[in-house]
């Protein structure tokens, strides 16, 4: 079998949302699994929808995801250019070849004329009028007009498009890797524009020509392309490339977590989760959309989550590194039905990855957050904090938000704990405990615990009587990790100081 070459072909019309990232990911995994090449092709044939910065965004956000291209606008390759606007001159000859061979034709209709035709057909009872075998005879095109008229118009420089001449009553079949045989009758297809009046091809032609020229072996794309796949098959056939036509695989869509319909940016805003891999600022409105990266997601967790939205390995293993994904991935195991996005599961994946990280790695990330908050701390200290906190956190930022007391003395004391656990005799106990701890030579967690328990015993107190009060003195909170660990890490001096402060403030 010839070399596997797949491409991810986005339009630079905005940021890539997670559906697009997943399409890129599956292409990447498939290519790497087969030892093939993965190509990025920018499909910017629609100048009107171009968005500043979108191409850069696509490249950089995929890079963050760990998805790298073998050929692209950045790294080049022997099948370039990799941007359709730079390939502009290549498409017209193919379109004209189709006209010459009778598979396509010139059409001069203005948008007003097209609208008029549609209105006319609707009035006549056709719900969705098409430019097809029935209507084309009434329009301004090289099939209805005389040859002289066509030549005259073309020489006069009149704007024209090239449309495919859809045959009557032919079954077009394609064998989709995910869906099996898909059959469509050409009577249900229209004479799609393949070359626009602005000199650019439409997606359909550009896509087929480029996939052919770039020797693409498999087209893996979203399900929204399935209805036009038969058109592409016809294009390959008419261009004489059917024997090297790529295999198709149409991926199921990612759906809204609630209700129905495909996932959109709105859903993320509404339900409070990112739909973009990295943060995006709309260049026009300056509106900022949050990204997984900025929200504190570990990229491996993000990728792992995405890979499972529509694919599964058929085993019970759920945690997969990129290498393992490459190893296990196959298009045969991609599902057919759309998958509702599950935000809880996404958080769970992040938690799993967080735990797998070493305290050193976590400390590095936490230091970044600490710096943002104007806190300087020794690496060793931060590492121990991470050690104590990582089992309770989903994100690195949780360790800051739930563990501020490691770095700052409490400024307030949890009311509920005070109300329930700070009794009349509590100050006396805390004060005595403080004096006992002050004399402790070994301020290790174990030693503090032993001393604490000894004190409880001597005074015939239970854990619940004094420990919550002790905790609130040190952390201001009613819950958290082992208090003896916290005290030990804070050190004797700080511990004593916090107890004194609490005694003053709480009373």
- Catalytic residue numbers read 265
Instruction: Tell me which residue of 263, 269, 267, 264 sits closest to 288, measured CA to CA.
Output: 269
CB nearer RNA, residue 145 or residue 376: 145
Q: Enumerate long-range contacts of 417-425, CB under 8 Å, 24 or more apart.
A: 417/468, 417/469, 417/471, 417/472, 417/477, 417/478, 418/472, 418/506, 420/468, 421/464, 421/468, 421/469, 421/472, 421/478, 422/469, 422/472, 422/506
SS3 107: strand
Q: Enumerate long-range contacts of 395-398, CB under 8 Å, 24 or more apart.
A: 395/295, 395/296, 395/297, 395/350, 395/354, 396/296, 396/354, 396/362, 396/365, 396/366, 396/369, 397/296, 397/369
CB nearer RNA, residue 355 or residue 371: 355
CB nearer RNA, residue 32 or residue 192: 192
Helix (H) / strand (E) containing 406:
none
CB nearer RNA, residue 65 or residue 253: 253
Distances, alpha carbon 432 to alpha carbons 453, 463, 506, in Å: 13, 16, 16
Query: Rounded CA gap, 361 and 355, in Å?
Result: 11
Task: State the minimum distance, in angstroms, from the CB of residue 371 to RNA.
Answer: 26
Distances, alpha carbon 502 to alpha carbons 418, 464, 480, 487, in Å: 11, 18, 18, 14
CB 487 within 8 A of CB 498: no
Instruction: Tell me which residue of 315, 317, 313 sits closest to 328, measured CA to CA.
Output: 313
Task: State the minimum distance, in angstroms, from the CB of residue 324 to RNA.
Answer: 16
Task: State the minimum distance, in angstroms, from the CB of residue 262 to RNA.
Answer: 4
Task: State the minimum distance, in angstroms, from the CB of residue 374 to RNA.
Answer: 26
CB 73 within 8 A of CB 40: yes
CB nearer RNA, residue 379 or residue 401: 401
Task: State the minimum distance, in angstroms, from the CB of residue 449 to RNA.
Answer: 8
Q: What is the 3-state secondary structure (H, E, C) of 371-387?
A: HHCCCCCCHHHHHHHHH
CB nearer RNA, residue 186 or residue 289: 186
CB nearer RNA, residue 331 or residue 483: 483
Task: State the minimum distance, in angstroms, from the CB of residue 445 to RNA.
Answer: 9
Task: State the minimum distance, in angstroms, from the CB of residue 308 to RNA.
Answer: 5
């Amino acid at each position: 079998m010839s070399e596997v070459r797949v491409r991810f072909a986005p339009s630079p019309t905005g940021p890539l949302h997670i559906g697009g990232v997943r399409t890129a990911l599956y292409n990447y995994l498939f290519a790497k699994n087969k030892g093939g090449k993965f190509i990025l092709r920018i499909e910017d044939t629609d100048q009107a929808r171009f968005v500043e910065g979108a191409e850069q965004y696509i490249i950089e956000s995929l890079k963050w995801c760990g998805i790298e291209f073998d050929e692209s606008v950045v790294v080049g390759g022997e099948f370039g250019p990799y941007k359709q606007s730079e390939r502009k001159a290549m498409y017209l000859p193919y379109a004209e070849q189709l006209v010459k061979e009778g598979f396509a034709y010139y059409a001069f209709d203005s948008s007003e004329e097209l609208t008029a035709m549609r209105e006319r057909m609707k009035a006549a009872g056709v719900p969705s009028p098409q430019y097809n075998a029935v209507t084309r005879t009434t329009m301004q095109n090289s099939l209805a007009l005389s040859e002289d008229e066509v030549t005259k118009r073309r020489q006069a420089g009149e704007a024209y498009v090239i449309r495919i001449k859809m045959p009557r009553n032919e079954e077009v079949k394609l064998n989709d890797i995910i869906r099996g045989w898909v059959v469509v009758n050409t009577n249900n297809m229209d004479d799609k524009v393949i070359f626009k009046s602005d000199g650019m091809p439409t997606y359909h032609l550009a896509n087929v020509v480029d996939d052919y020229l770039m020797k693409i072996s498999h087209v893996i794309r979203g399900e929204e392309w399935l209805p036009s796949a038969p058109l592409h098959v016809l294009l390959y056939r008419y261009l004489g490339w059917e024997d090297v036509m790529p295999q198709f695989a149409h991926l199921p869509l990612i759906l809204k977590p609630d209700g129905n319909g495909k996932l959109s940016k709105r859903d993320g805003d509404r339900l409070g989760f990112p739909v973009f891999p990295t943060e995006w600022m709309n260049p026009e409105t300056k509106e900022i959309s949050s990204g997984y990266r900025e929200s504190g997601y570990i990229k491996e967790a993000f990728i792992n989550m995405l890979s499972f939205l529509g694919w599964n390995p058929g085993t019970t293993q759920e945690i997969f590194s990129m290498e393992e994904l490459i190893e296990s991935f196959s298009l045969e195991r991609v599902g057919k039905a759309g998958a509702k996005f599950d935000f809880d599961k996404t958080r769970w994946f992040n938690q799993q990855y967080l735990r797998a990280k070493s305290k050193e790695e976590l400390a590095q990330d936490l230091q970044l957050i600490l710096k943002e908050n104007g806190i300087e701390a020794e690496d060793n200290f931060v590492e121990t904090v991470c050690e104590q906190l990582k089992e309770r956190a989903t994100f690195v930022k949780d360790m800051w938000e739930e563990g501020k007391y490691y770095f700052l003395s409490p400024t307030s004391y949890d009311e509920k704990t005070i109300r329930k656990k700070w009794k009349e005799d509590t100050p006396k106990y805390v004060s005595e405990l403080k004096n006992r701890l002050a004399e402790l030579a070994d301020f290790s967690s174990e030693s503090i615990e032993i001393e604490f328990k000894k004190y409880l015993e001597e005074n015939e107190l239970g854990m619940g009587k004094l420990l919550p009060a002790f905790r609130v003195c040190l952390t201001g909170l009613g819950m958290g990790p082992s208090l003896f660990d916290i005290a030990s890490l804070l050190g004797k001096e700080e511990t004593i100081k916090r107890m004194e402060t609490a005694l003053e403030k709480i009373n």
